[in-house]
């Protein structure tokens, strides 16, 4: 077996594991609904969840095919995870107030910054690093604007939400930027 065939075989195993995990995650809420009344998803919840898993999987497929190094693959994985979790948290509970607060739509802009920067950088490691750094800055800006405008939950809870969300997601974007920077070297 040639070296290229060995690489393709290994890549196929990772792809199978990734898509199998996505299917398992899609079924998890359904299984949980059978055992507890606390999980009460509607059909639209499953459609949104399925679309999120599909888009995350396709993004990982696209980015890992472009990868020349493990640092790039890890950077791509962290970036996709950050975007996925940002959408999930906002849809489930919201980062600013509750999930129905329209101010949470600012965080879609964070993902747009990451995507636009990635496209502008032609998905090259250096451009991806800059795009993820810009996403971290946009994350911070969105949190600060939401807090300053009074769109977060009142009092200490709002400050906690913004600090936690900004730290967590900003940290993920910065980790991804560092990994892409490493891949660029």
Label residue 18 by pLDDT band (50, 70, 90).
confident
Rounded to two decimals, the pTM is 0.87
pLDDT of 30-86, one tens digit each? 899 999 998 889 999 999 999 999 999 999 999 988 877 999 999 999 999 999 999
Helices (H), 93-154: 106-120, 125-148
The pLDDT of residue 66 is: 80
**Do the beta carbons of residue 91 and residue 101 sit within 8 Å?**
no
Query: What confidence score (pLDDT) does residue 2 get?
Result: 53
CA 79 to chain CA centroid, Å, is: 6
Residue ranges covered by each domain of the chain: 70-184
Query: Of residues 11 and 27, which shows the higher confidence score?
Result: 27
Average of per-residue pLDDT across 22-26? 91
Own/partner long-range contacts of 38-42 (Cβ < 8 Å, ≥24 apart) = none
């Amino acid at each position: 077996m040639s070296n290229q065939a060995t690489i393709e075989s290994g890549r196929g195993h990772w792809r199978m594991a990734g898509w199998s995990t996505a299917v398992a995650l899609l079924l998890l809420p359904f299984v949980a609904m059978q055992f507890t009344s606390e999980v009460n998803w509607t059909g639209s919840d499953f459609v949104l969840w399925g679309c999120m898993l599909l888009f995350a999987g396709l993004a990982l497929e696209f980015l890992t095919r472009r990868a020349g190094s493990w640092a790039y693959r890890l950077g791509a994985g962290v970036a996709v995870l950050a975007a996925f979790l940002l959408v999930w948290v906002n849809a489930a509970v919201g980062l600013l107030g509750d999930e129905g607060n329209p101010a949470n739509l600012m965080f879609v802009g964070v993902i747009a910054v990451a995507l636009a920067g990635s496209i502008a950088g032609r998905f090259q490691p250096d451009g991806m690093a800059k795009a993820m750094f810009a996403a971290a800055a946009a994350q911070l800006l969105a949190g600060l604007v939401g807090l300053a405008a009074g769109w977060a939950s009142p009092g200490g809870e709002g400050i906690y939400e913004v600090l936690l969300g900004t730290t967590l997601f900003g940290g993920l974007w910065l980790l991804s930027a560092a990994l892409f920077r490493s891949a660029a070297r």
